[in-house]
Amino acid sequence: MRNVRSSVAVGVGCLVLVGASSVFAQDWPQWRGPNRDGVATGFTAPAAWPAALTQGWRTSVGTGDATPALVGDKLYVFTRQGDDEVTTCLNASDSQQVWQDKYAAQAVTGAASRHPGPRSAPAVADGKVVTLGVAGVVSCLEAATGKLLWRKDLFPGVVPKFFTSSSPLIVDGTAIAQLGGQGSGAIVAFDLATGDTKWQWAGDAPQYASPVLLTVGGTTQVVTLTEASVVGLNVADGKLLWQLPFVPEGRAYNSATPIVDGQTVIYTGAGRGTKAVQIKQQGDGFAAKELWSNPDLASQFSTPVLANGFLFGLSNRGNPFCLNAKTGQTAWTSDALFDRGSFGPIVNAGSVLLTLPSSSELIAFAPSDKQYTELARIKVADTPTYAFPVLAGNRVFVKDQDAVTLWTLP
């Protein structure tokens, strides 16, 4: 085990208990938002987009690509500072630090060293914050005070080639994370209160995709892409319910989060297109029936988002596309360039779609199935951005290379 040390500085005034009863409509409490589907609620799009946004505050927090979590008036940021991985709680209104937790973290080496900080978004629920470090350390902190409740390192030294990027989720008093890598690892469920392992499934090692939830016939499932598959596991006991091969080709990786639409699971990967399957009960078990496959459009790193029955994504060449989520047919593709590296998280904000590629431009475009219509392209950082923009009302929180900035819209 690596030497894991904890140093907690607790500020005064964090009296708000974070839990299911105190979640606000504008919260962004985990990876890809309240329902892990890339949908932002409570965002107010301007009638006319300005040439620039108004800066509220900017504060240095450390390096990393992890999307902050916003719950109530608190922003939870997960970064690297020197040799430590650090979770910081900030007042969302003025960026004042409320508390901070840190521990010594493994150095990021090799091709991934250009991104030494965490990539996994914190998950906040039931009064707790769960983080997953670049080397697979899982931590659970008290959301109000930052008190360390437990910290686990089940696969020390075992990581995917580019280190851990999957984000944890919290469901029914359980924290679930993909741990390990390169042929050795597991999906692990921890008791949120104690950190004890409830179950683990080691049928396939993780890569970089994050898990989501699906409910069919009263059974809640964890659905995720692993090293070579897409799987559904029973949340209650980790039992494998269904599994389909999805093997990366060449330099491709399983990075995009599966998309759940009712009983339909949509998944995508470079070189393998985009596919949809329907999950049905079959006797005492479950079966996955293919609905459609589009071999021409796929996303490597950016997870597509559903809006009005259509799927909007970013191709491997960095261009936006739209396809019909019911049939898989291509609606349109565009020559507009978002990101040459195909990075660019997309958010469904109701009347508008927003993306924030590594060029640090907030791009707004219409959720239309007819054609690509760009509404705005606004610079919001001076260093590259890889995290989601966190939207709340007329506010946009942006995590760049080493800082968080609050921008406001008119």
Give 87: exposed, middle or buried? Use CB within 10 Å, 0-12, 13-18, 19+: buried
74 three-state secondary structure = strand
Q: Kindly state the average pLDDT of the residues 174-190.
A: 95
Identify the bridge partners of residue 404 per DSSP, sorted by sequence position: 59, 399
45 three-state secondary structure = coil
Q: Is the pLDDT of residue 3 over 60?
A: no
Q: Kindly state the average pLDDT of the residues 218-231.
A: 97
Decide the pairing of beta strands 320-324 and 346-348.
unpaired
**Residue 15: what pLDDT?**
30
From start to end of 94-173, where are the E strands?
97-104, 123-125, 128-132, 138-142, 148-152, 169-171
Tens of pLDDT, residues 20-53: 334 456 899 999 999 999 999 989 899 999 999 9
CB atoms inside a 10 Å sphere around CB 353: 22
**Residue 1: what pLDDT?**
38
Q: Is the pLDDT of residue 342 over 90?
A: no
- Tell me which residue of 326, 405, 400 sits closest to 64, measured CA to CA: 400
Identify the bridge partners of residue 65 per DSSP, sorted by sequence position: none
Q: pLDDT class for 182, splitting at 50, 70, 90?
A: confident
**Dihedral (Cα; 105, 111, 112, 114), 10-degree rounding:** 100
**Cα 410 to Cα 371: distance, rounded to the nearest angstrom:** 27
**Cα 8 to Cα 15: distance, rounded to the nearest angstrom:** 17
Q: Is the pLDDT of residue 373 over 50?
A: yes
Angle at 254 between CA 249 and CA 258, to 5 degrees: 130
Query: 273 vs 43, 306, 329, CA distance in Å?
Result: 31, 17, 12
More confident residue, 17 or 337: 337
Burial track 247-261 (b if 16+ CB lie within 10 A, e otherwise): ebeeebbbbbbbbbb
**Residue 16: what pLDDT?**
33
Stretch among 22-36, 108-122, 198-212 having the lowest mean pLDDT: 22-36
DSSP state of 117: S
- Tell me which residue of 72, 64, 103, 104 sits closest to 89, measured CA to CA: 72
**Residue 6: what pLDDT?**
36
20 three-state secondary structure = helix
**Cα 310 to Cα 262: distance, rounded to the nearest angstrom:** 14
The whole-chain average pLDDT of the chain stands at 93
Which residue's entry shows tokens 């506010």?
A: 395
Q: Kindly state the average pLDDT of the residues 213-235.
A: 97
The answer to whether 303 and 38 are in contact (CB under 8 A) is: yes
* Amino acid making up residue 24: F
- The values of phi and psi at residue 372, to 5°, are -80, 125
**Residue 24: what pLDDT?**
58
Identify the bridge partners of residue 276 per DSSP, sorted by sequence position: 266, 292
**Residue 316: what pLDDT?**
87
**Residue 251: what pLDDT?**
82
**Residue 216: what pLDDT?**
97
**Cα 370 to Cα 333: distance, rounded to the nearest angstrom:** 10
Let me know how many helices (H) and strands (E) the chain has, helices first.
0, 33
Tens of pLDDT, residues 252-276: 899 999 999 999 999 999 989 999 9
230 three-state secondary structure = strand
22 three-state secondary structure = helix
Q: Is the pLDDT of residue 288 over 80?
A: yes
**Residue 339: what pLDDT?**
86
Task: Write the CB contacts of 176 (distance below 8 Å, at least 6 apart in sequence).
Answer: 168, 169, 170, 187, 188, 189, 190, 211, 222, 235
**pLDDT > 90 in the chain, percent:** 87
Q: Kindly state the average pLDDT of the residues 81-101.
A: 98
**Cα 133 to Cα 154: distance, rounded to the nearest angstrom:** 12
* Tokens found for residue 99: 């508390």
Task: Write the CB contacts of 267 (distance below 8 Å, at least 6 apart in sequence).
Answer: 225, 230, 246, 256, 258, 259, 274, 275
Which residue's entry shows tokens 């409320």?
A: 98
Task: Write the CB contacts of 100 (distance below 8 Å, at least 6 apart in sequence).
Answer: 8, 9, 86, 87, 88, 89, 146
